[in-house]
Amino acid sequence: MKNLYALLALMISLNIPIQAQNPAGKSMYRDVVVFNSPGPGQGVIRNLNCGGDASLAFTSAMTAEFWFKAAIPTDNQKFIGRLNSTGATFNNGYLVGINNSRINPEIWTPTNQSYTEGFIPPVSTWHHVAVTYESGGMYRAYLNGALAYEQAAAGNIAVQNADLIIGVGPWGNMDAFMSFGDMDEIRLWNVARTAEEIKGSMFSTLSGNEAGLVLYQNFDNDNGSTIISDLSSAGNDCTKVGMDATNIIDSECVIANASTQNADDLNGIWFSSNAFLQDPRVVDTENGLSLSANFNGQDTSSYVVWGHDGGSDTSVDDLPANAPMGAIRTARTWSATVFGDIAPNLTFNLENAAGGATPIPGNQDANFYTLLERSSTTGNFTAIAAGDAINGFDVTFNNVAVEDGAYYAIAVGDAPFVLTNIFEVDENELAVSIFPNPSDGRVNVQIDEQIQTAEISIFNTVGQLVNTINTNNKRTEIKLAESGIYLLRIEADGKTFNQRVLVK
């Protein structure tokens, strides 16, 4: 027996649904199937009209930003805009859309300045788009917090008198190019926001009183009436046009909850509702913690948003009571908002985690490092997982299902930490194939070598023995009635094999 593992940590790391309610609240949704199919609601243009107040008539600078999950991302779709038209002539205003899977903004000065840049993968996943314009400065587009395109901006935006429209082409009675799918966290500003400002708030909600904010809709305040109040202090309330109760739904937008969104340097990692082009998801940071994850049957709507408390240097405070000699941890802690079923790899860079001060030592074996967890900002940590690999100053913990609202740090000692709920697991010595995995509840255990008898033990996510099967067959089908994650342990002729199984 080569290593000690915490069974609870081992089982938690298997993609367990963490919470039922998404912190993102509600979103606006338009169904392309309903629009195109015969029956009630077919062909109805559905949008928001937010009025024509002067605060929405930008001149020298603006920022438009929002999250969206497009049902048909390759189409020419308009998300938000305000402009007048004289017949087929457009010579004032602004709009932001997507076209051919790329961000497509247009600014009239009155000459039209537009571009189609920033590739959006043609799968149904959430994306954050921000477009900034500053007369005499730059005209920029950001995709998921990263600069996607920039060019020189010309003169002031030509004055417009029309209403601001969300969800369709904003040109009077010629409604067209409706966007299909979800929109959330819609924000308009009368300033050109910086890259740091966009990245700093894209994963969190706003107070509504931020300087320069003139429209804020996240739909959480929808009460079923025809009016959705503006959450900014500008009071640009929006009227539903053609919309009904099916157009405001529970949101799966990548937004942190209250305990996480005020942390420093928020980052997110998320999947989509289409398994195509899923693997892998990787987010590298310079704050000491980076995440990566593979799709591999995990919940397609799941995500993690994480940040840190700004701590620097090292600490010996609040270590586990049974910490080994010489134990020391990062003073910096990280917190997370978790939605759905996701078990990412956590990679800590010890130097970056120190925040410019002294890092914890990077000269020990991987299993001397431990992931610490606690449920609040104070109190002793618990050691929940041993490091799986170390490369220079990078220590990796594989397949950890971080808990919503928990706080994390990394520690090292002169010996491995004693993990919570110790369960001794042999290194796999027996040749076994388990399939399919994930499964619908019927799992085949095939032993790929000669045996006399085998014992198959099945444990649930909290380490309880669910069932034991004794067999002398090389292939045995077992049935797991409930969805979830199980640990299968096969013992035969003094050899063992362990594997996790996901039942959908």
486: Cα within 13 Å, side-chain hemisphere: 28
| Same-domain check for residues 181 and 222 | yes
In the prediction, which pLDDT does 382 show? 92
| Same-domain check for residues 119 and 175 | yes
Residue that terminates a domain, selected from 396, 423, 450 = 423
Alpha-carbon distance of 98 to 117, in angstroms, equals 9
Q: What is the CATH number of the domain that holds 176?
A: 2.60.120.200
| Same-domain check for residues 336 and 246 | no
Going residue by residue through the chain (504 aa), what tens digit of pLDDT does each one get? 233 333 333 333 333 333 335 788 999 999 999 999 888 778 899 999 999 999 999 999 999 999 999 988 788 999 999 988 666 678 899 999 999 999 999 999 999 999 999 998 767 789 999 999 999 999 999 999 999 999 999 999 998 889 999 999 998 665 679 999 999 999 999 999 999 999 999 999 999 999 999 999 999 999 999 999 999 999 999 999 999 999 999 999 999 998 899 999 999 998 765 555 555 688 999 999 999 987 654 556 789 999 999 999 999 999 998 899 999 999 999 999 988 767 789 999 999 999 999 999 999 999 999 999 998 899 999 998 889 899 999 999 988 878 888 999 999 999 999 877 433 444 578 888 888 877 888 898 988 888 889 999 988 765 678 899 999 888 899 988 787 778 888 999 888 888 778 777
| Same-domain check for residues 284 and 347 | yes
Give the containing element (helix H, strand E) for 127: strand 127-134
In the prediction, which pLDDT does 501 show? 80
- Segments forming the whole domain that contains residue 371: 3-18+258-423
| Same-domain check for residues 389 and 468 | no
Total domain count for the chain?
Answer: 3
Closest by CA position to 247, among listed 44, 39, 37, 22: 44
Q: What pTM was estimated for this model as a whole?
A: 0.79
In the prediction, which pLDDT does 37 show? 87
Q: What is the CATH number of the domain that holds 454?
A: 2.60.40.10
| Same-domain check for residues 40 and 147 | yes
Give the containing element (helix H, strand E) for 8: helix 7-12
| Same-domain check for residues 339 and 263 | yes
In the prediction, which pLDDT does 20 show? 38
| Same-domain check for residues 78 and 164 | yes
| Same-domain check for residues 74 and 169 | yes
Kindly give, in sequence order, each residue whose CB lies less than 8 Å from that of residue 218, ignoring residues fewer than 6 positions away: 24, 25, 26, 27, 184, 185, 186, 205, 231
Residue that terminates a domain, selected from 371, 394, 423 = 423
Q: Is 466 helix (H, G, I), strand (E, B) or coil?
A: strand
| Same-domain check for residues 283 and 226 | no
Residue that terminates a domain, selected from 250, 276, 295 = 250
| Same-domain check for residues 8 and 48 | no
Closest by CA position to 127, among listed 303, 248, 388, 288: 303
Distance of CA 434 to the CA centre of its chain: 30
In the prediction, which pLDDT does 9 show? 38
| Same-domain check for residues 268 and 190 | no
